Amino acid sequence: MPIHQLERVTNLLTLLLSARRHVTFEEIRNELRGQYPENLVAARAAFERDKAILRDEGVPIDQTVLGGDQAGQTGYRVLRSSYEIEDFGLTDAEARALRLAVGAIRLGTSWSTEAMWKVDLNGTTDDEASAIGVELPVDDRLPVIHQAIGRRQVVVFGYHGRERRLQPWGLLARDGFWYLVGLDEGVNERRTFRVDRIEGRVRIDDEATFESPTGFAVREAFPSDPKLLPDGIDVGADLALVRVDSSDTGAVLAQYGPESVREQRPDGSLVFAIPCVNVRAFLQWLFGFVDRAEVLEPALLRAVVVRWLDEMIGTSA
């Protein structure tokens, strides 16, 4: 019966961790006798697959071309100092706080749970659960981008059909999306990218490093209200006056505060001043009220709304 690949990979790792010097494929095959196929080509392919599993799991396999009587052969070893996790020295209170944090922030993957198993080896699972939870989106490319930001390395990726070379300055999770902000070397200007819209993998250019601007704060890099992001549609004003029925004013007050009220009407409706720099985002907000809100000014924005509705009506007429 052939040996299970998991058993062979685990044996390979014990061997590489125990080795006092770099060992060659032939030596590994000899030590793990009968575990790799007899056929040399098949054995080599199986060994490459095993190494790939170990590397994908983060095992730091050190490899070097040997000299002496093994000249030209590649030797492999895993240094215990590179393999083993450092001692974080967390107190019980700190470990508990981290467990609560990991329980509260839900990334939709097992990454943080697996991290806690390592960081908090003595931890238990019977802690109280957090009463608060935050769902954060996750993307497989985030860890690589995060590493590149820390190391000040240029990243290369596809976006809207074009390849971008970006000096990544910061990652921001906001309103259910991850944003990457940095200097787009193609246009030599700061740009913001939605990570979930990046096409394909993110590659790090090991040769290219950079300096981030001092004092850069990613959450101040672009406005949190999408209605404040220019979209190229000019309606002649940055604020719209919107009349909202009395039934729905509470929602607007909660979002924009009483300082946004410009007028109170006898029927109980209120006129609010709402950002409309981004007309598309403004329309998305406006239509949330269906027929219980009306754009009063600017006239150009009112015309945009009327045209939008007329096109809808005309479509099926």
Partner 1 sequence: MTRRGPRPVNLRLRRILVMLPWLMDRGTVSTREMADHFGLSVDDLIADLTLASLCGVSEDPNDLIDLWVDEDEVHFGLPKYFERPLRLTLPEAFSLVVSAKAASELPGAVADDALSSAIAKIAAVIGEESLTGVDVEIEVPASLDGLSRAVADAAVLSIDYWSPTSGETSSRRITPLEVFADGPHWYLRSFDHGAVGERTFRVDRIEAWSPTGDTDRRTVGPRRPWFADSPDATTVTIAVEPGWTWVLEHYPLVSIESRPDGWTDVRLVVTSERWLQRLLLRLGTHVRVNDPSEWRDLAVVTARNVRQNY
Give min distance, CB of 87 to partner 1, in A: 8
Question: Do 11 and 43 touch, CB atoms closer than 8 A?
Answer: no
Give CA–CA dist 204/195, Å, rounded: 15
User: C-alpha angle 18/24/29, rounded to 5°?
Assistant: 80
Give min distance, CB of 261 to partner 1, in A: 17
Give min distance, CB of 72 to partner 1, in A: 26
Closest by CA position to 9, among listed 58, 50, 57: 50
Using the minimum distance from each CB to partner 1, give the nearer residue, 219 or 265.
219
Helix (H, G, I), strand (E, B) or coil at 78: coil
Give min distance, CB of 1 to partner 1, in A: 13
User: C-alpha angle 223/203/78, rounded to 5°?
Assistant: 125
Using the minimum distance from each CB to partner 1, give the nearer residue, 67 or 231.
231
Using the minimum distance from each CB to partner 1, give the nearer residue, 127 or 163.
127
Measured CA to CA in angstroms, residue 199 lies from 154, 160, 196, 204 at distances of 17, 8, 8, 15
Give min distance, CB of 84 to partner 1, in A: 4
Peptide bond connecting 258 to the previous residue in cis, omega within 30 degrees of 0: no
Using the minimum distance from each CB to partner 1, give the nearer residue, 2 or 89.
89
Using the minimum distance from each CB to partner 1, give the nearer residue, 90 or 228.
90
